[in-house]
């Protein structure tokens, strides 16, 4: 995969140089959804048969997850954006701390390992530094399904209680509609004995993608995408081929970048209704949105201030809050951005202020007075989505900006700067030649390395 090196410090020696006040123009292809691909990789542990995952984005998070699976004994063959996964020879049911560190999605493995093998040992997950990110909903749900769980020294040890060989279907009501907990419990329940109902389930498109793949594998899951999901456990799941859905967060990031520069671009392929909350807000803020099949065209205009409040799907996604804050920083008027999902997801605000934005932060609420201009600066991204917000800010700003901390960006955006280059942005990845040879990473920065696409 493009982002991987034996030299683990390589990303710290890279930065993106952006020449500001550019416009975007053209068509950009949207990659497969990172958050879907991660959970689908975990779901492939549920069968001994071959799973072929198509449209998998080439990202460091995906590579980490693939390595976790390999460590369990899974064979993975990689061909461009396709992964062929063979889980028939799993010998270990324990995830080592060194591999899961920093990848929250690694915790997804607990559900499949527990329900298929009756045991799992998984370290507490890491992930972006955006809040405390508890796992109580995962744990309580698994216990309700008949697991015995002990947490000792940050390691979660789970097995099936008593002399039973399968988890037992039950009724679970989540306290909050956690995406990760819904996914963990769906995977665990799909091989449990009897019926499980999950109430107050998350309704994110990635959950529907997971259920679609599991149903192709022979699971019996009904009403995914609704608040109450029903799963009739089966004793065995089989292999399948599945194409990961387009990444709605990457898509939304490009739309926001176009709106912020009053540009016109087309993104494709997308599933437009996955982006409805975002396109509605972009329209309210002055952009013209045209939906045609699986593509969305945005024609940016003068930017009007609008308020947003993040919410579980189908509400405005927390993952696009930071990029939207950048847009509002240069909007005409005042706006209020309220983050309701994660308590520590405003890392970008003080950096935008350094660039000349006028944002007052009161806990999880950003009160923004739009300014006419912001200026380029050298900045360090501190989490995935705030890094994307800073890159958009660099594109808008007067002068040049240098964004480092690319280890966050490369976790979640496939070929981001190459795609921006294709759209006309002057952006280059700079390498510290003392520690690395440029050619080692050429593919992640060069538009000629990624195919060109047509909007459908
Ligand atoms: C997933 C996404 C992430 C996205 C988030 C919300 C992946 C790999 N990541 O994260 O990009 O920002 O959904 O859309 O898919 N909570 C609890 N107890 C739990 C679990 C969660 O209280 O056991 C709380 C969290 O602290 C948070 C809220 O529920 O406040 C939402 O978290 P959750 O939906 O679980 O997010 P993730 O699955 O971690």
> What is the distance in A from the centroid of ligand 1 to the CA of 220?
25
Q: Is 176 in the pocket of ligand 1 (CB under 6 A)?
A: yes
* Best residue for ligand 1 mutational test, from 65, 133, 317, 388 (most atoms within 8 Å of Cβ): 133
Least confident of 276-285, 380-389, 409-418, 430-439: 430-439
Dist. CA 11–CA 298, nearest whole Å: 32
Say if residue 109's pLDDT is above 60. yes
**What confidence tens digit (pLDDT) does each residue in 203-255 have?**
999 999 999 999 999 999 999 999 999 999 999 999 999 999 999 999 999 99
Tokens of 266: 């087309």
pLDDT in tens, 436-446: 443 333 334 44
Closest Cα to atom 12 of ligand 1? 319
Checking if the pLDDT of 317 tops 80, the result is yes
Q: Is 180 in the pocket of ligand 1 (CB under 6 A)?
A: yes
Ligand 1 contacts CB of residue 35 (under 6 A) = yes
Q: Which two tokens stand for residue 301?
A: 């205009």
Q: For 90-99, which contacts have Cβ atoms below 8 Å and span 24 or more sequence positions?
A: 90/45, 90/117, 93/117, 93/119, 93/120, 93/121, 94/120, 94/121, 94/122, 95/68, 95/71, 95/121, 95/122, 95/123, 96/71, 96/123, 97/123, 97/154, 97/155, 99/64, 99/67, 99/68, 99/71
Write the residue with the smallest CA distance to atom 39 of ligand 1.
180
Q: Is the CB of 319 under 6 A from ligand 1?
A: yes
Q: Which of 128, 211, 238, 240 is catalytic?
A: 128
Count of other CB atoms within 10 angstroms of residue 364:
19
Give residue 153's region: left, alpha or beta (phi > 0; psi -120 to 50).
Answer: left
Q: How confident is the model at residue 2 (pLDDT cuts 50, 70, 90)?
A: very low
Cβ of 342 below 6 Å from ligand 1: yes
**Ligand 1 centre and the CA of 129: distance in Å?**
12
Give the position, in ligand 1's atom list, of the atom nearest the Cα of 35.
15
pLDDT at 449: 40
Least confident span in 8-12, 190-194, 368-372: 8-12
Tell me what pLDDT residue 126 has: 58
Per-residue confidence at 97, pLDDT binned at 50, 70, 90? confident
What is the per-residue pLDDT for 13? 73
CA 301 to each of CA 20, 247, 283, 286, 290: distance values in angstroms, whole numbers, following the listed order: 18, 25, 10, 6, 14
Concerning whether 128 is annotated as a catalytic residue, the answer is yes
Evaluate: CB of 137 within 6 angstroms of ligand 1: yes
CA of 377 to the centre of ligand 1 (A): 32
Which residues make Cβ contacts (< 8 Å) with residue 163, sequence separation at least 6?
Answer: none
**pLDDT tens digits, 114-127:** 999 999 999 987 55
The two structure tokens encoding residue 409: 């960006």
pLDDT digits (tens, 9 = 90+) for 264-273: 999 999 999 9
What is the rounded distance in angstroms from the CA atom of residue 446 to the CA atom of residue 4?
Answer: 16
Tell me the CATH number for domain 6-31+247-443.
3.65.10.10
pLDDT, residue 438, reads 36
Q: Do domains 6-31+247-443 and 34-243 have the same CATH topology?
A: yes
Could you name the CATH architecture of 34-243? Answer: Alpha-beta prism (3.65)
Q: Indicate whether residue 38 lines ligand 1 (CB < 6 A).
A: yes
Domain ranges for the chain, please list them. 6-31+247-443, 34-243
Q: What is the mean pLDDT of the chain?
A: 90
- Statement: residue 3 has pLDDT above 50: no
Contact call for residues 73 and 97 (beta carbons, < 8 A): no
């Amino acid at each position: 995969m493009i982002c991987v090196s034996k030299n683990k410090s390589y990303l710290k020696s890279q930065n993106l140089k952006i020449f500001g006040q550019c416009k975007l123009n053209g068509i950009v292809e949207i990659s497969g959804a990172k958050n879907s691909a991660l959970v689908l990789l975990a779901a492939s542990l549920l069968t001994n048969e071959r799973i072929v995952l198509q449209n998998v984005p080439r990202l460091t998070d995906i590579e980490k997850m693939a390595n976790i699976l390999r460590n369990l004994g899974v064979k993975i063959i990689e061909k461009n954006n396709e992964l062929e996964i063979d889980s028939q020879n799993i010998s270990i049911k324990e995830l080592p701390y060194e591999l899961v560190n920093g990848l929250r999605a690694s915790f997804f493995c607990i559900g499949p390992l527990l329900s298929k093998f009756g045991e799992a040992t998984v370290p507490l997950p890491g992930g972006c530094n955006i809040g405390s990110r508890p796992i109580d909903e995962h744990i309580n749900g698994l216990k309700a399904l008949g697991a015995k769980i002990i947490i000792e020294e940050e390691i979660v040890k789970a097995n099936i209680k008593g002399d039973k060989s399968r988890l037992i279907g039950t009724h679970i009501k989540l306290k909050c509609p956690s995406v990760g907990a819904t996914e963990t419990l769906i995977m665990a329940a799909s091989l449990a004995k009897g019926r499980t109902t999950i109430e107050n389930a998350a309704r994110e498109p990635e959950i529907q993608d997971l259920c679609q793949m599991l149903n192709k594998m022979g699971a019996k899951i009904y009403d995914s995408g609704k608040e109450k999901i029903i799963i009739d456990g089966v004793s065995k799941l089989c292999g399948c081929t599945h194409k990961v859905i387009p990444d709605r967060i990457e898509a939304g990031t490009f739309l926001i970048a176009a709106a912020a520069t009053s540009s016109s671009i087309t993104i494709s392929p997308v599933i437009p209704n996955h982006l409805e909350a975002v396109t509605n807000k972009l329209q309210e803020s002055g952009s013209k949105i045209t939906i045609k099949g699986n593509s969305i065209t945005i024609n940016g205009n003068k930017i009007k201030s609008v308020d947003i409040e993040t919410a579980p799907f189908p509400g405005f996604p927390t993952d696009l809050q930071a990029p939207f804050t950048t847009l509002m920083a240069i909007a005409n008027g005042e706006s209020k951005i309220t983050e309701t999902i994660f308590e520590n997801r405003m890392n970008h605000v003080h950096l935008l202020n350094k660039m000349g934005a006028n944002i007052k932060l009161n806990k999880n609420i950003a009160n923004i007075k739009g300014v006419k201009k912001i200026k380029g600066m050298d900045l360090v991204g501190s989490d995935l989505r705030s890094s994307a917000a800073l890159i958009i800010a660099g594109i808008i700003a007067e002068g040049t900006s240098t964004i480092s901390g690319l280890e966050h960006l490369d976790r979640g955006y496939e070929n981001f700067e190459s795609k921006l280059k294709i759209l006309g942005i002057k952006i280059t990845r700079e390498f510290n030649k003392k520690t690395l040879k440029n050619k080692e990473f050429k593919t992640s920065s060069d538009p000629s390395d990624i195919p060109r696409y047509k909007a459908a």
